[in-house]
Amino acid sequence: MDNLFLIKNMKNLDLLNYCKENKENFLDSAYIFLEKDMNLDKYIEKTKKIKNKLIAIKEICDKKSSEMVLNELFNTLIFDIKEYASYSEFACFINACDSNIDEVSNNRNLLEEITRIYIEKRDLNEIVPSEWIQALIDKGSSRKKGKVGEKKLILVLERDKYILTKKYDEFIKNEKSIAQFSKGGDFCLKKIKDNFGISIGKKTQNKTLDLIIKNSSDIYFLEAKHMSTKGGGQDKQVKEIIDLIKNKPTKNNYHFVSYLDGIYSNILLEIGDKKVSTKKQNKLKNQYKDIIKALNKNSNNYWINTAGFKKLFEIV
């Protein structure tokens, strides 16, 4: 039997089992950021400036020197923390004070109060090792992952002749098309409702999805999530994409697709075959059962990982 026929007629539960057998890799290059930050030198230079100002403020406060000099130091410090200061020790201390750098850079009184606490509670020196600034940047790399999954899927599709479009007419005309959800234009929430006749976001405060994909006559409405570990935030995100595949498509050629990559995907798919003994495992088991229930009820919908995505869209 022709392989293409097999793919197009693959049932959603068969595809889910295929995903179980073809797990996510621990090191996915799409989510790895190995290069040093291009602005590292600017962060280092700004951190040095801030440290020097704090040392000067400490010395002046200790000697009860001129109030005018102290005032000028605070004037320049509030300017210094507006840009390239987020990876300094002082910025981290601001977070420890239940504030953020934006609030402090716009509130002179708050800056002075936190500065005095910092001088009292922390040691000051002029050393600024580049490696620990880069380490702070690395630690915050998860913030870069917001649209990485979406971009990863677009690249996979483009390599297989799918065309990224911004116009509805062009999307429909092409045999293989991709469109990204947007706040305006032909793929905003309102236009999607008008053009495709689907209603999404009722339970999620009009939250949109990520991609619309056209393969021949079939149209897929996809939401992508990346999760590497278990936790409370993940529970909410998993619920969102389970809710997606609970939607009944309004046409036979419409499909709602939940795409989950990352190690959490492996853990979630594996739990279906295991006995559970903890609350966390039980929660995962219930999520898995909800996925199975939704797929059984809506045969047009899919739950996939990276391997399942390629299988679904006929990509070798």
Question: What pLDDT digit, counting tens, does each position of 69-120 carry?
Answer: 888 999 999 999 999 899 899 999 999 999 999 999 999 999 999 999 999 9
Q: Are residues 215 and 267 in the same domain?
A: yes
Rg (CA), the chain: 26
Q: Are residues 24 and 49 in the same domain?
A: no
Residue finishing a domain among 142, 177, 200 = 142
Q: Are residues 119 and 209 in the same domain?
A: no
Q: Are residues 221 and 308 in the same domain?
A: yes
pLDDT the model gives residue 302:
96
Distance between first and last Cα of the chain: 17
The Cα-based distances of 19 to 26, 210, 265, 272 in angstroms read 15, 21, 9, 13
Quote the pTM value.
0.73
Q: What range does the domain containing 189 cover? A: 3-32+146-312
Categorize the per-residue pLDDT at 62 as very low, low, confident or very high, splitting at 50, 70 and 90.
low
Q: Are residues 165 and 128 in the same domain?
A: no
And the tokens for 43? 């962060």
- Say if residue 222's pLDDT is above 60: yes
Q: Are residues 278 and 178 in the same domain?
A: yes
- Say if residue 218's pLDDT is above 50: yes
Q: Are residues 262 and 138 in the same domain?
A: no
pLDDT the model gives residue 202:
55
pLDDT the model gives residue 51:
93
**Each residue's pLDDT tens digit, 241-296:** 999 999 999 899 999 999 998 888 988 998 877 777 787 788 888 899 999 999 99
What type of residue sits at position 15? L
How many folded domains does the chain comprise?
2
- Residue 91 and residue 101 in contact, taking contact as beta carbons nearer than 8 Å: yes
Q: Are residues 187 and 96 in the same domain?
A: no
Q: Are residues 125 and 250 in the same domain?
A: no
- Say if residue 2's pLDDT is above 60: no
Categorize the per-residue pLDDT at 204 as very low, low, confident or very high, splitting at 50, 70 and 90.
very low
- Indicate the range of 163-167, 183-187, 205-209 predicted with least confidence: 205-209
Longest CA pairwise span in the chain (Å): 89
Q: Are residues 175 and 193 in the same domain?
A: yes
- Say if residue 220's pLDDT is above 50: yes
Q: Are residues 181 and 250 in the same domain?
A: yes
**Tokens 């002179």 -> residue:** 108
CA atoms within 13 A on the CB side of 202: 8
**In terms of DSSP H, where are the helices of the chain?**
3-8, 12-21, 40-63, 67-80, 89-96, 101-105, 108-121, 130-139, 148-158, 168-173, 189-196, 232-245, 263-270, 279-297, 306-312
Give the C-alpha separation, 85 to 99, whole Å. Answer: 14
Residue finishing a domain among 142, 157, 172 = 142
- Say if residue 196's pLDDT is above 60: yes
| Sign (positive or negative) of CA dihedral 149, 153, 154, 159 | positive
- Say if residue 146's pLDDT is above 70: no
pLDDT the model gives residue 47:
92
Q: Are residues 48 and 61 in the same domain?
A: yes
